[in-house]
């Protein structure tokens, strides 16, 4: 084996390459992600300490009154143990993992991607990056449809750094900001903010912030002191889907 090939492989020239092929690229939270990892040997035989998959998302972080985009690891999976890849050899390795229930939806500026890495000692680790799209599951879709049915329109969806009281497994939350454009809440509310927190596929805890519209001097004072906002927490499950519109309308009306 040429000493030059060894040196080149150690700096990533002529070394093993990796390519991940997902079965599809659109998922809902809690769904199984399946695919194949293809490892192609380079010019020299190499020992691969392992293959790992990392699931990332982007989010907005605020520091010193400035906003910037950062990333966080949603989950990480080790796919193989140590193995050897020969020159020009091709290995296809199947994998599967579950998309976390708290994975954000890829709405607005939020992105989610899978990074595949080969762990090779004394070498630059080859990587591959694949974006996926995460859409609402059945229960989330029912909530969105219900809000639209009572006159709300989604204005903004952002994955943000979570305040301490809202943090769960991840340091981020995804906020959905709605505005009333029709119906009973138009003129009564400025906006409605929503955060999902799923415990399983059939139950979701909703965190709602109802922001009432300022009315008169007292209303403006309330707005300045932020006492015009009410935080509401409720749990919905799949049995609520047929009556989701009525349930949300009743809750929002109580605090509007």
- Distance between CA 66 and CA 68 in Å, rounded? 7
Give pLDDT tens digits for 208-218.
999 976 544 33
Q: What is the CATH number of domain 3-134?
A: 2.60.40.640
Question: What is the model's pLDDT at position 115?
Answer: 92
What mean pLDDT is predicted for residues 208-235? 64
Higher pLDDT, 239 or 109: 239
Q: Which helix (H) or strand (E) holds 4?
A: helix 3-10
Residue with the two structure tokens 């691969």: 48
- Over its C-alpha atoms, the chain yields an Rg (Å, rounded) of 24
Is residue 166 classed as helix, strand or coil in its secondary structure? helix
119, pLDDT greater than 90 = no
Tokens of 137: 């599951």
Tokens of 170: 């991840």
Taking alpha carbons only, the member of 11, 30, 231 closest to residue 123 is 11
End-to-end CA, the chain: 75
CB-based contacts of 225: which residues, under 8 Å, 6+ apart? none
Buried b (16+ CB within 10 A) or exposed e, 225-236: eeebbeeeeeeb
- Distance between CA 197 and CA 206 in Å, rounded? 6
Higher pLDDT, 45 or 179: 179
- Distance between CA 106 and CA 138 in Å, rounded? 16
**pTM check: above 0.85:** no
What mean pLDDT is predicted for residues 62-76? 87
What mean pLDDT is predicted for residues 120-132? 71
Q: What are phi and psi of 137, to 5 degrees?
A: -80, -175
Question: Are residues 136 and 68 in contact, defined by beta-carbon separation less than 8 angstroms?
Answer: no
Q: Could you tell me the residue ranges of all domains in the chain?
A: 3-134, 138-255
What mean pLDDT is predicted for residues 105-111? 92
């Amino acid at each position: 084996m040429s000493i030059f090939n060894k040196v080149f492989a150690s700096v990533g020239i002529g070394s093993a390459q990796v390519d991940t092929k997902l079965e599809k690229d659109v998922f809902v939270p809690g769904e199984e992600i399946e695919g194949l990892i293809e490892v192609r040997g380079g010019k020299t035989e190499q020992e691969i300490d392992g293959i790992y998959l990392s699931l990332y998302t982007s989010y907005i972080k605020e520091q010193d009154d400035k906003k910037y985009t950062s990333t966080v690891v949603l989950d990480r999976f080790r796919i193989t143990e140590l193995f050897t890849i020969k020159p020009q050899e091709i290995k296809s390795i199947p994998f599967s993992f579950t998309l976390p229930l708290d994975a954000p939806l890829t709405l607005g500026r939020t992105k989610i991607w899978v990074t595949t890495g080969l762990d090779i000692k004394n070498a630059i680790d080859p990587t591959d990056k694949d974006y996926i799209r995460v859409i609402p599951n059945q229960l989330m879709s029912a909530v969105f449809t219900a809000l639209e049915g009572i006159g709300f329109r989604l204005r903004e969806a952002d994955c943000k750094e979570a305040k301490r009281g809202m943090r769960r497994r991840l340091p981020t939350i995804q906020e959905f900001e709605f505005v009333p454009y029709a119906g009973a809440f138009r003129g009564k509310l400025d906006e409605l903010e929503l955060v999902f927190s799923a415990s399983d596929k059939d139950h979701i805890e909703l965190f709602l912030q109802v922001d009432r519209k300022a009315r008169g001097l007292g209303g403006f004072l309330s707005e300045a002191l932020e006492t015009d906002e009410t935080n509401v927490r409720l749990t919905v499950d799949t049995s609520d889907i047929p009556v989701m519109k009525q349930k949300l309308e009743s809750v929002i009306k109580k605090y509007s």
